[in-house]
Amino acid sequence: MAKIRLDKYLAEMGAGTRSEVKTMIRRGRVSVDGTTVKSPETKVDTSKECVELDGTAVAYEETVYYVLHKPAGVVSATRDAREKTVLDLLPEKRRQDLFPVGRLDKDTEGLLLITNDGALAHELLAPSKHVDKEYYARVRGRVTEKDVKIFAEGVDIGDDKPALPAKLNILSSAEESEITLVIREGRFHQVKRMFEAVGKEVVYLKRLAMGSLRLPEDLACGEARKLTQQEIDSLKRCAKKRKSRTLDAMLSGVRAVIFDLDGTLIPSMEIWEQIDVEFLGKYGYEVPEDLKKCIEGMSFRETAEYFAARFDLPLTVPEIEQTWLLMSREKYLEIPLKEGAGEFLKELKRRGIRAGIASSNSMELVESVLNSHGIRELFDTVQTCAAVEHGKPEPDVYLHTAEQLGIQPQNCLVFEDVPMGILAGKRAGMAVCAVEDTFSSRQEAEKRALADYYIRSYADLMTGSYEVL
């Protein structure tokens, strides 16, 4: 570690202002390794030499980290001539180089990180890093599933670009709703503007987390404490995961990329929930709570066979399939591609990397979706579970698709949105990137545990902000 001036050493450790510590040194109150030093310009090796002030050792910390439970009415600044700042709330005589990482509006409460680690602050705040920030809010107006979908697609808040896709979770929906929201940016008044865009008003806002750091439940409003070493290490790992990478790193050694369709390339899984309700309701059934889990990963034919076996329906398996096709065709053609998917597919084509589809859906629907978006020509093969013996989580459809592409499994990369599909890709011996999808949001932890990479959207790949798990 480089040597630093003695007055800077003491000022950074909170002994006083730079002018105050200079006076202390000149008055002989400071010693270095037992020898009184009266020159503020004296250089000190912070890793070896012992500095004492009035006989008490002043240990040097290069970086310090505080978590603050910010109250309303306090500004996120290092100094303010009229207002109380967040630094005024620190529990001990503070050093002079601290600053808040980002800002919370004056009327917003919650977690705020205060440090002097500029490198970490950059990793957490840079727009390209897409570090999660979680909020709790009370919102005037009834928040609905329609709002969840709008936020997931990226709401227009009046800037040059819409906000990035965000994860909205409804805790209660009434005249005043309660929600949690995870965003990946920090635009001016962003949460408030997002709700204004859908005709609602945030009346209370509290930040719960930034990256891996969560607001401690036992930290009272207005209080702060130093981070534990475990919290510091976890936060640094989180920032490192988000550190910008090149697409080349992910695609090194990859000769083919294989995509699931539903929930992976298009946000279509909710359509099938609607179809299940309409279809079963026609025959007097409510959708069983375990249905989603029971049919996850099944092929189109396997799902129809499951319905025929479980429910007393006046239809054959082919008739069930045909009914579903008629119910879903128009709805499917209205679904957009996920953010950045088209650009990523074109980039694969430019690089000469082969691309395939391995879907559990029907071939008719898959082909119609690809054609409607004008991307069919970007795929070298389109396969479904109908062509193999077993659906996902068995590896059959991925192995079959790799064979059709003429590429060995170990040189294939899979994109999937649900655990059963991720497991199928891993069982095929392929690397797998998990894709965030509103439908499978409650399975995120399981998806992360199984996959090799994680993306919020395909734009993460083009900006290099995907996660390596």
Helix H, strand E, coil C: the string for 394-410 is: CCHHHHHHHHHHCCCHH
pLDDT at residue number 372: 87
Tell me what the mean pLDDT of segment 26-54 comes to. Answer: 93
Flag whether pLDDT at 468 surpasses 70.
Answer: yes
pLDDT digits (tens, 9 = 90+) for 219-247: 999 999 999 999 998 888 877 665 556 78
| Cα–Cα distance, 162 to 284 (Å, whole number) | 43
Q: Which residue has the higher pLDDT, 437 or 178?
A: 178
* pLDDT tier, 2 (very low <50, low <70, confident <90, very high otherwise): low
Cis bond leading into 162, ω under 30°? no
Flag whether pLDDT at 130 surpasses 80.
Answer: no
Q: Which residue has the higher pLDDT, 176 or 154?
A: 176
Dmax (CA) for the chain in angstroms is 98
- 81: DSSP letter: S
Q: Do residues 69 and 225 touch, judged by C-beta distance below 8 A? A: no
Tell which residue, 10, 232, 205, has the closest CA to residue 114.
232
Flag whether pLDDT at 465 surpasses 80.
Answer: no
Q: Do residues 247 and 405 touch, judged by C-beta distance below 8 A? A: no
pLDDT at residue number 304: 87
* Beta-carbon contacts of residue 220 (< 8 Å; ≥ 6 apart): 69
pLDDT at residue number 209: 94
Number of H helices, E strands in the chain: 17, 22
Phi, psi of 112 (to 5 degrees): -140, 130
Please state, in angstroms and as integers, the Cα–Cα distance from residue 310 to each residue in 7, 284, 291, 396, following that order. 79, 13, 10, 25
- Beta bridge partners, 21, equal none
Sign of CA dihedral 149, 153, 154, 155: negative
| Look-up of token digits 């008629």 | 326
Q: Do residues 157 and 200 touch, judged by C-beta distance below 8 A? A: no
Q: Is 105 a catalytic residue?
A: yes
* pLDDT tier, 128 (very low <50, low <70, confident <90, very high otherwise): low
pLDDT digits (tens, 9 = 90+) for 254-276: 999 999 999 999 988 777 778 88
Flag whether pLDDT at 16 surpasses 90.
Answer: no
In this structure, of 73-77, 133-137, 318-322, the range with the lowest mean pLDDT score is: 318-322
pLDDT at residue number 362: 86
Please give the mean pLDDT across all residues of the chain. 90
* Beta-carbon contacts of residue 166 (< 8 Å; ≥ 6 apart): 151, 152, 154, 155, 181, 182, 183, 184, 194
Tell me what the mean pLDDT of segment 426-452 comes to. Answer: 90
| Look-up of token digits 């890093």 | 129
DSSP H helices in 85-157: 118-125, 145-153
| Look-up of token digits 């209080």 | 223
pLDDT at residue number 444: 84
| Cα–Cα distance, 417 to 452 (Å, whole number) | 13
Flag whether pLDDT at 146 surpasses 60.
Answer: yes
Residue 21 has, within 13 A of its CA and on its CB side, a CA count of 26
| Cα–Cα distance, 116 to 104 (Å, whole number) | 18
pLDDT at residue number 97: 80
- 348: DSSP letter: H
Q: Do residues 398 and 430 touch, judged by C-beta distance below 8 A? A: yes
* pLDDT tier, 106 (very low <50, low <70, confident <90, very high otherwise): very high
Question: What does pTM read for this prediction?
Answer: 0.54
DSSP H helices in 182-340: 190-197, 229-242, 247-251, 269-282, 291-295, 300-310, 317-333
Q: Do residues 453 and 431 touch, judged by C-beta distance below 8 A? A: yes
* Beta-carbon contacts of residue 33 (< 8 Å; ≥ 6 apart): 49, 50
Element at 461 (helix H, strand E):
helix 459-463
Of the residues 80, 97, 105, 380, only one is catalytic, namely: 105
3-class secondary structure, 415: strand
Tell me what the mean pLDDT of segment 380-391 comes to. Answer: 93
Flag whether pLDDT at 326 surpasses 90.
Answer: no
Flag whether pLDDT at 410 surpasses 90.
Answer: yes
Tell me what the mean pLDDT of segment 452-457 comes to. Answer: 91
pLDDT digits (tens, 9 = 90+) for 51-100: 999 999 988 888 899 999 999 999 998 888 889 999 999 876 667 788 99
The residue type of 332 is Y
pLDDT at residue number 371: 92
Sign of CA dihedral 254, 256, 262, 266: positive
Flag whether pLDDT at 1 surpasses 60.
Answer: no
Structural domains of the chain ordered from first start: 4-57 (3.10.290.10), 65-228 (3.30.2350.10), 244-469 (3.40.50.1000)
